[in-house]
Structures are given as structure tokens and as C-alpha cells.
Structure 1
Amino acid sequence: AEVSSLPLINLDFNKLSESIDAWVKEIEQSQILIFSGGFSAGDEPDGSAKFIVNLLKNQKMKDAVHTLLQRDGMILGICNGFQALVKSGLLPYGEIRDLDENSPTLAHNAIGRHISQMVNVKVVNEDSPWLKGMKGLEYTIPISHGEGRFMASEEVLTELYKNGQIATQYIDFDGNIAHGMPFNPNNSLFGIEGITSLDGKIFGRMGHPERFAEGLMKNIPTANYHNIFKNGVEYFK
């Protein structure tokens, strides 16, 4: 894949407007839009998600993202990127929209602090180009976040389950869904680590598969590469 990575320059109104126009131009000629993980402003409440959501709600950006999806484009969000997808409405609704009291969210970890460790996750649904051919496979990947606790009402959780939108779940050493420490360190409901939109084109997760590389994590024999990126690229070949 050819990657175009643009900074958001917000030193003043004019530079911000120029940045948004540049982003829109790139999105218009792209097939995949990715919001990566990373700290912003010390990962204060909502982390960088609040800034990404504000940007996504700009009408130019909103139109560009919706047009991308309408022409069969795909979106991926990791960690803070996942937070942005959830808090913009792109997950689980598949569109940028205002949220209400019934919308799912990502809250502070139950332990009340940042957590950085390895976790085991299982792909439970592959009805997504990002996860094609991976159902039932287990991966050991890094996490690093302070607000990764997926929260939703029982009604929303049931709907996500029925729709097959629950994509990846935290599991224990025996392969069972993990509902708390240490295997589900943020205490996400139903062990949810990642979800998709209804059509599977949008995927968001808390784990960091991009942080794996051969030669790293040698003390974690089960560490492996959950190569969702390869799937995303091959979808368009």
C-alpha cells in the first residue's frame, strides 16, 4: 500500500482550514482511512479522540468520509483511533452522527489507571474485509491505554452480538471470554476488544497489532502478528 500521512496544523484558523482541505483531497483519492493510536495532550480524558471527532464533524471532512464509505472505502481505528470512531458514531453506526444516552462509549479502565501489557484476543466474527479468514484464531498483542473499557447497554450489546459486529474479544489462557483482570485489563463488557460496522468496512479495536515485529517481545512466546493490514490492502487488489 502507498501511505500518505498528513499532520493536522492548527496553529491558527487559516492553517487549520488549509490542513482540512489537504486531508479532504487525500481522502478523495484514497481507499483506506486509518486513525492510529497515540497520546495527545497527555492522554487527558477522551485522549486525542476528542480532537479527531471535532475534525470529523467539520462538514468538509464529514462529507469526504461518507463519500469514501459510499464508494466502498474502508476505515480502521486503533486505540485512540477506536475511541474516535466510537465517539463520532462511525462505530457501530457506520456514519458520523450525534450520540445520545444509549450510544456505546469507551470509559476509563476499571482499575483507574493506564495499562500497558500483552493480552490474548480471539477473532469471533470474520464478516469484515479486515478479518477475512481469521475467525477462531487467537493472537497475543500489546495494549496501552487509560480509557479502553467498552461500555454499552444490554440492549445495544445484544444488538451488536446479533448483527455480528463484535469482532474480537479478550480471552484467558483456556480460550474463554475474559471478563476482568488480568486477561481483560480494562474490564470491557462482554470482553469486547474490537467491533465493526454493520457492513464490516469499519473496524476499531483497542489492541496494537502494528507494534509487533520479528525480534521483539522475545519473552512472550505466544506474541504474533495480527496482520489485519494485509487483509485491508488485499481487499482492493
Structure 2
Amino acid sequence: MSAARVGIVTFPGTLDDQDAARAVHLVGAEPVPLWHADHDLKGVDAVFLPGGFSYGDYLRCGAISRFAPLMEELIPAARAGLPVLGTCNGFQILCEAHLLPGALTRNASLHYVCRDQRVRIEQASTAWTSSFTPGQEITLPVKHGEGRYVASTETLAELEADGRVVVRYVDGNPNGSMNDIAGIRNEAGNVVGLMPHPEHAVEELVGAPSTDGRGFFTSILQKLVNA
């Protein structure tokens, strides 16, 4: 299992790269640091784009990160099938890079939201959610000011019809996302983006929501080991 290598990308302003690396390590995989200015994915088997405020969130969240040198390698690799997970700012970057449709905009409340959030796993067929069962409800932390998922009517209909909504908010929508969408996938299912933070819910030490987020990391480990 130790042969599974998951790259953790750090941009200027990234906050959760060390949390992501610890989560990867806890499930038995090897976290590999990836620097935004490099042109080398270091042969990793999967990539995690963590949360934070990359490049200070200037222009739009994730808009500058999309043009980072490392993304010149990551975008074609993702389109070729490399498993990629982006959480919070990572989700915003994936949308800006057009690896996922739609956009993340200001919360409907216009307030920053930080709380434990109940969500439902809608799809367990992706590289990042196979450890869950469809319909399973878990609790993950959310912490964002621009997490409202929006898309055209046509895109929303396509996401719903094709089963590409991966995670959905329940017991209250923290940001006003359309269709209560908390996370989506690309057509192939190898690229997933979500606003909640599974990397902050992997250890009992931190208390509630305990280890509900660990399934995202055990999923990718199983995928890589069984590949």
C-alpha cells in the first residue's frame, strides 16, 4: 500500500496542504509535495488540491492558480484519467481550469460560514468515494465565503441526469448552492470537487465530526492499490 503516491499541491496562500498530507499518510499512502511553480508531477498516482486562499483570491477564487506552471501538467493529466480531488479552494481551481463545470460564487448570505455540515453521498462510483454507500450521510467541516455552486440550467440538468452530483448538503444549505450541490465530478469520474473539507475529519483526536472524511482517502488508496 505504501507504493500509492498522492501529490499535494501548494500554491501561495494554500492553508490545508499539511492537513491533506496527514490524511493521506493516515490511510497508508505516501503524500508527495507538489509546488505550484514546478512543471513536474513527480510521477504521482493521484493529486489533491487543498483549500486556502491561493494567490490571495485576487481576481476570483482560483482564477490565478489555474495558470500556475504545475497546472500546465495537471490539466492534461486529469483529462487523461489521473484521479484529482479538489476541496474548497481546490474545487474553485478545478472549475476555473474547466476540469469541472460551473463556478463557486459568494455565499448567498454574504457571510463567511464555518461549521460542521451534514452532507449526503450521492455517488459512490468515483475514485474518491468508493468507500461510501450511495445515500450515506456524513458530517464534514465547511469554511468558506465563496462556496455557492452555480451553473446554467442546462448544466444543472446534465449533472443531475448523468449522476454527476457526488455530494449534496442536507439539514441546511450553508451557502445557497443550486440544487444543494456540495460536490460534483467530471464525466469520467476521476476528477471530483467539493466545498466541505474531508481532510479535517480524519482523526478522532479532533472530536466531532470524527473520522467521517477518511473515506475519501481510503477510496483513492483502494483505487490505486487495485489498479
User: Matches of residues 57-76 of structure 1 in structure 2 within 5 Å?
Assistant: 61-67=71-77, 69-70=79-80, 72-76=81-85
Partner of 2:155: 156
Rounded Cα–Cα distance in structure 2 between residues aligned with 1:24 and 1:150: 30
Match of 1:23 in 2: 38
Q: Which amino acid aligns with 1:29?
A: G
Which residue does 1:88 correspond to in 2? 97
1:193 aligns to 2:182 (yes or no): yes
Residue 217 of structure 2, aligned match among 220, 229, 232? 229
- For 1:123 and 1:116, locate their aligned partners in 2 and report how far apart those are by CA, in whole Å: 20
**What is the count of residue pairs matched by the alignment?**
197
- In the TM superposition, what is the alpha-carbon distance from 1:216 to its structure 2 partner? 1.7
What is the TM-score of this pair, normalised by structure 2? Answer: 0.77
Q: Is the 8 A contact 1:140 1:224 kept in 2?
A: no
**Quick one: structure 1 residues 168 and 24, their matched pair in 2 at CA, closer, same or farther if it must change by over 3 Å?**
same
In structure 2, runs of 5+ residues without a counterpart are 13-34
| Residue 42 (structure 1) shift | 5.2
Question: Amino acid of the residue matched to residue 131 of structure 1?
Answer: T
Asked whether 1:50 is paired with 2:38, we answer: no
Displacement over 6 Å in runs of 4+: none
- Equivalent residue of 2:39, what SS? helix
Query: Is the CA contact 1:119–1:141 (under 8 Å) kept in the aligned structure 2?
Result: yes
For the Cα contact (< 8 Å) 2:105–2:148, is it kept in 1? yes
Alignment map for 1:164-183 (pairs within 5 Å): 164-172=163-171, 183=172
Q: CA RMSD in A?
A: 2.4
State the partner residue of 1:119. Answer: 117
2: CA distance between counterparts of 1:117 and 1:223? Answer: 14
Distance 1:121 1:154 in 2: 23
Are the counterparts in 1 of residues 114 and 144 from structure 2 also a CA contact under 8 Å? yes
TM-score when scaled to structure 1? 0.74
1:35 maps onto 2:34 in alignment: no
Structure 2 Cα separation of the partners of residues 123 and 6 of structure 1: 25
Q: 1-side partners of 2:117 and 2:111: how far apart? A: 17
Q: Deviations over 1:21-43 (max 9, x none)?
A: x7332x15111111100134655
Trace 1:128-143 onto structure 2 (pairs within 5 A).
128-134=126-132, 135-143=134-142
Decide which structure has the larger Cα Rg and report it.
1
Q: Deviation per CA, 1:125-160, whole angstroms, max 9, x where unpaired?
A: 122121114211111110000000001122110001
Shift of 1:224: 4.0
CA distance in 2, matches of 1:7, 1:234: 24
Q: C-alpha displacement at 1:198, in angstroms?
A: 0.6
Q: Equivalents in 1 of 2:53, 2:71: separation in Å?
A: 22
Unaligned runs of 5+ in 1: 10-18, 93-103, 173-182
Identity rate, percent: 30
DSSP-derived class of the 1:29 partner: coil
1:101 corresponds to = none
Query: Which deviations, in whole Å up to 9, do the C-alpha atoms of 1:31-64 show, x marking residues without a partner?
Result: 11111001346555633x1231121xx5x74355
